[in-house]
Structure 1
Amino acid sequence: MSAIQMNHPADNQDVNVKARPYRSLFWPIVLIGVGLMWLLNNVGLISAANISVVFRLWPLVLIVMGFDLLFGRKSPAVGAMIGIITVFVFIGLMLVGPALGLAANLDVQSASYSEPLGDASSAQIELDGAMGALTVSASEDSSNLFDASLNYVGEVEYETSGQSERVISLRQTDDNSGISFFTFNWLADEEPLSWDVSLSPDVPMDLDINGGVGSSRLDLSDIQLQSLNVNSGVGQMTVNLPAMADSYNATINSGTGQIDISIADNAALDLDVNGGVGQVSIDVPETNGSVGIRLEAQSGIGNVSVPGDFRRLSGDDGMGENGVWETENFDSAERQITIDYSGGIGGLNIR
């Protein structure tokens, strides 16, 4: 009698046990360290000077990431060790760095600049890279063309040229002090940073404003505006646009943050708005026999909201909304406002 051999499925199958890849503990430990430094700053145990040391030495992070990729993925213990050493090194440098001269120049300085009106018949004004709250408005001093009062860190440059056609430039410069968007938030407990700029309402002006970090309030309602170009940075921005005898062009390129634009009654202008990240709201005048409004919108991620008296001429709904809207009196209106909107992330609200 032949023996009957029983075959079990488990005996005939190759059991492939895949080793789970090691997960490095480097990043969890680093995140704990970052949170610890943030907490120490919030409770006042370390200053902005200490934090600035960390940001000046940020290239060390790339070096440590390289070590983690080479060795940390082979063993959780190695990744944990790299993370712990990294946190201790950065905390140590953060604490002793100011004494070693590694801290950025975070001293808040004050300065004032003035330009007499003189024989100026026109002006081109450039404001570039303000770090802190930026305010621009009409001056109450009829003898000056330009006034600026600053609380700032780092370095600023002020230049002026021309007699009748005046050119004025005020800009934040990079002096390798380590001041940047990343260190700006750590200055919250220091003296507030600000640019307060006053412009003569008696001279036609072309304005070129490049935002930095911080909120901006541009009250241009009493300025003789010939043209406006704004590149916003990071922070909320409010813009009041004037009504001039002649139509003018205004371009606003959004960065990160909400933008609120208000157009004066009886204004006539071509407004180009390029959205970044954040809601854009535009307050328009009431439409009547003399003022008509046309909107051309190419929305990114976000909706377009218009008043009830805007009729849609073209476009359809998709991701965002693209189309053309007009008030019924646009073609016959003496004062025309055209708005060309290219959206980013965030909606457009015409109200």
Structure 2
Amino acid sequence: MSQLSHKERRPDSLFGPIVLIAIGLFFLFNQTNVLTDLYWLDVLRLWPLLLVFLGLNILALQAPRPYASLFSGVIALMAVVLFGFVLLNGLGGTPFRGRLETGEWQTRPIQFSAANVETAVYNITIGPPGADLYALEDSNDLLAGTITYQDNYLFDTRVSGGEANIRLAPQNNSEEWVFLPDYWREFRDANRWQLGLNQNVPADLTLEAVAGSSELDLRDVSLETLMLTVSAGDMELLLPGGNYDAHLITNAGSSEITLPENGRHAIDLEVNAGSVVLHLPSDMALHVEVQRDLGSFSANDAGLRQVEGQENVWETADYDSAPNRLDLNVHISVGSVTID
């Protein structure tokens, strides 16, 4: 006579579902302005208590059914009540008071011009909520537009030996807390930067998009070099013709890039995370080499063919004889690159 055996089912824990539901509701109420001025940093200060509650939950699950699930639910409710109270009321007079203090959004015009400049070196950090960047028409200004900021901003200019150096960046005390929910709500009250660059003076351009959505229309800018880093957010980039090199880095988010229509170029594209779509003009020949870790690469009707005897190397049929051609090196860590 055979003996049937079965493994006793572990008690179901209610801790995870209850805590996740509570966190989701707090986020929802905060984003819809039902609950405002929450003490998120005070909650983070109490992170060791979360370990205590997790340990209590493990002990509770050792009890027989159905008491294990009941005890687990009670512990979860205790955690929600405690952390919820701190989130709403803070920790009183403690030195590390966690209410996020942000200044009012301010909008200010910005402008810089200089005579006898042969090269303009731009170093621009685009903070939240993003920027529209374009070429100035019929203007002698090297930089002109409007910026929206909170606490302060950095605007430094100097001219030496025919070279103008321009540095522009946000300096918000709240910038380092950009991922906190209170700051997300503040985003909505801000306007994107509007920045125009001189279209005649050759430009050595370094850009970093920290967050937000940006449209960078450089088609009429006289580029010599371009260094662009997208840390987060969405970005649309329109590249000019001419002869120059570029280094493009996407750390997160989504980027859409229209490649140059003419000239000869070498472009390095690093995709650490996120997705990038490249638009190839019909008159531009392309040679592309791809290195992939966990990412993906695809070409949709771009006229690319794999180079014989070379793995992960493609080019258009007319590349060798084309007057306008682009050498593209792509390194994908995690993410995707599509050429169309």
Question: What is the TM-score of this pair, normalised by structure 1?
Answer: 0.80
Equivalent in 153, 156, 159 of residue 156 of structure 1 = 153
Amino acid at match of 1:304: S
- Bigger shift: residues 294-303 or 179-188: 179-188
Query: Match for 2:339: what amino acid?
Result: I
The equivalent of 2:45 in structure 1 is 60
Q: What residue number does 2:229 align with? A: 231
Structure 2: runs of 5 or more not aligned: 61-71, 92-96
Residue 263 of structure 1 deviates from its aligned partner by 2.1
Match of 1:274 in 2: 270
Q: 1:282 to 1:9 in 2, by over 3 A?
A: closer
C-alpha contact 2:270 2:330 (8 A) present in aligned 1: yes
Deviations 1:251-299 (A, max 9, x none): 1111222211112322321111112333322122224xxx532111123
Q: Quote the sequence identity (%).
A: 22
Which segments of 5 or more consecutive residues in structure 1 lack a partner in the other structure? Answer: 1-7, 95-99, 317-321
- Note closer, same or farther for the CA distance 1:323–1:19 as it changes in structure 2 (3 Å cut): closer
**Alpha carbons 1:73, 1:79 under 8 Å: kept:** no
Deviation (angstroms), 1:42: 4.0
Structure 1 residues 19 and 260: CA distance shift in structure 2, 3 A: closer
- 8 Å CA contact 1:156–1:171 kept in 2: the answer is yes
Question: Whole-Å Cα distance in 2 between the matches of residues 106 and 279 of structure 1?
Answer: 33
User: What is the one-letter code of the residue matched to 1:271?
Assistant: I
Over 3 Å counting, the alpha-carbon distance change for 1:101 and 1:259 in structure 2 is closer
CA distance in 2, matches of 1:178, 1:252: 24
User: Residues 294, 87 of structure 1: CA spacing in aligned structure 2 closer, same or farther, 3 A cutoff?
Assistant: same
SS at match of 1:243: coil
**2:69 aligns to what?**
none
CA contact (8 A) 1:211 1:234 kept: yes
Deviation at 1:240, TM superposition (A): 0.9
For 1:236 and 1:30, the matched residues in 2 are separated by: 31
How far apart, CA to CA, are the structure 2 residues paired with 1:80 and 1:272?
52
- Cα RMSD (Å): 3.2
* Structure 2 residue corresponding to 1:305, chosen from 299, 319, 338: 299
Following TM superposition, by how much is the alpha carbon of 1:124 offset from its aligned partner in structure 2, in angstroms? 0.8
- 3-state SS of the aligned residue for 1:162? strand
Q: How does 1:92-171 map to 2 (within 5 A)?
A: 92-93=89-90, 102-163=99-160, 164-171=162-169
Equivalent residue pairs, number: 322
1:131-172 CA distance string (max 9 Å, x none): 112111101251211113111224321111124201111112
Cα distance in 2, alignment partners of residues 213 and 159 from structure 1:
22
User: What aligned pairs does 1:134-283 form with structure 2 within 5 A after superposition?
Assistant: 134-163=131-160, 164-173=162-171, 175=173, 179-183=177-181, 184-188=183-187, 190-244=188-242, 247-283=243-279
Contact 2:133 2:197 in 1 (8 A): yes
The answer (yes or no) to whether the contact 1:72–1:82 under 8 Å persists in 2 is no
Q: What TM-score comes out, normalization by structure 2 length?
A: 0.82
CA contact (8 A) 2:149 2:172 kept: no
Helix, strand or coil: the match of 1:303? strand
Residue number in structure 2 paired with 1:84: 81
Q: Is the 8 A contact 1:71 1:79 kept in 2?
A: no
Q: How far apart, in 1, do the equivalents of 2:43 and 2:115 lie?
A: 49
